[in-house]
Amino acid sequence: MVLKQKKFLITLLIFIAALFTLYNLQFETRKEIDKIVKEKVERVRVFTAKPGSFATKIRVFAKLYSEKEINIISEVDGTIEEKPFNIGSYVKKGEIILKMTDTRKLLELKEIKDILSAYKAVLDEESKNYKNAITLYKKEIISKNELSSKENLYRKAKSEYDNREATYRRILWEFDNLNIKAPFDGTINKYYFDIGQKILRGQQLIQFSNYSKLIGKVSLKSEDIKNIQINRSTINIVNSDSEIEILGTSKEIDKSVFSYLLEFKLNNENKKFLPGEVVEVEIETEAFENYLIFPSKAVININNKFYVFIYDNGYAYKIEIEPNWVDNENCAIENFDDYNELIIITEGQSNIQDSQLVEAINLR
């Protein structure tokens, strides 16, 4: 009886040991399987793209011109005596910016002043005589013929004085115009003559500009100009916050190529820019609404077809797209299905297949 019990006990222990060994074997096998499965799940990084808008832009060079620029012309003959301001100086309206001299005009002015004084004395005398004649005629002391004679003498003196005064005013005007004054607030761009040089009436003396507003001109290709909307597109000078307004476009006909000219107005109250300067500008060519924007590194090119992998509940799904390149770092796809957001794989997509299980390591 005791022997049977021992045999049963030994058999039971052997059975339990066998069960325990089998359990451990299954557990280790499961761990190995889980490890293999886990090792096969590709780890990726994702980007959550949400609907938005963007605009394509181009960068080109523009030349600036003064909106208000004139060449001041000499009204009289003379010799350059003084240039009170240097080229580039900003002056106020009415300030003398060039002085000329003319000895002949100075002598003429002195001479006509003396002549005018003499004729004024004659006029005063004849005016006095005529007034006395009127009084005497009213008292019937002199005849009407005598009155008419005094009147004629007065009118002759008045006419001669007026002629000499007109000559005086002309010479005075010429003398005053030997000093050239700024026609408006602006900057001296250029002197056409130097001190000591003789000037003839009608010759250009000074190039004068107002820099508070500048006009920019850009030559563009037809494929760029057709997308620019005058009332909606924006233009900016690179690395500047100056206010700019697009004025319009026109066609340029060159000997070798057809192009278009875009003109804009620049607010330059701070005098940051100068006429003749070339600046780099950024122009918005086309605006896009309701697009999903994401890093361009997410895009895969396979035989000139473009794809991205989207992430959904732990799986990666490959979809074909038509990308619009926003800039060097981002692209966009039209949101046809009106997604509120779309999770796109941006790193690790080159190692996965469609519908593959993945782990998004940066998903929150």
Which CATH number belongs to the domain containing residue 190 in this structure? 2.40.50.100
What CA–CA distance (Å, rounded) separates 310 from 329?
19
| Residue at a domain's end among 286, 304, 330 | 286
User: Which range of residues forms the domain containing residue 307?
Assistant: 42-55+289-360
Domain count, the chain: 4
In this structure, the answer to whether residues 84 and 194 fall within a common structural domain is yes
Domain boundary among 238, 257, 286: 286
CA separation for the pair 296, 294 (Å, rounded): 6
Residue 29 placed within a domain: no
Is residue 17 domain-resident?
Answer: no
Q: Please check whether residue 27 lies inside any domain of the structure.
A: no
Amino acid at site 192: Y
Q: Check residue 96 and give its pLDDT.
A: 95
* Residues 212, 116 share a domain: no
From 236, 270, 286, give the residue that closes a domain: 286
- What is the predicted pLDDT for the residue at 341? 92
Element at 57 (helix H, strand E): strand 51-73
Query: One digit per residue, pLDDT tens: the chain, 364 residues?
Result: 555 566 656 666 666 666 666 666 665 555 554 554 444 689 999 999 999 988 888 888 999 988 888 999 999 999 999 999 999 888 999 999 999 999 888 888 889 899 999 999 999 999 999 999 899 988 888 898 998 998 999 999 999 999 999 999 988 888 889 999 999 988 898 999 999 999 999 999 999 988 888 999 988 877 777 767 665 677 888 888 888 888 888 876 655 555 788 899 999 888 888 888 999 998 887 788 899 999 999 999 999 999 999 999 999 999 999 998 888 899 999 998 889 999 999 999 988 999 999 999 987 7
Question: In the prediction, which pLDDT does 128 show?
Answer: 93
With contact defined as beta carbons under 8 Å apart, do 256 and 279 qualify? Answer: no
Do residues 86 and 141 share a domain? Answer: no
Contact in structure between 206 and 188 (CB atoms under 8 Å):
yes
User: How many Cβ atoms sit within 10 Å of the Cβ of residue 41?
Assistant: 13
The answer to whether residue 230 is domain-embedded is yes
- 265/248 Cα distance (integer angstroms): 10
pLDDT of 86: 94
Sequence-separated (6 or more) residues with CB below 8 Å from residue 336: none
Residue 4 lies in a domain: no
Dihedral of CA atoms 25, 28, 30, 35 in degrees, nearest 10, equals: -160
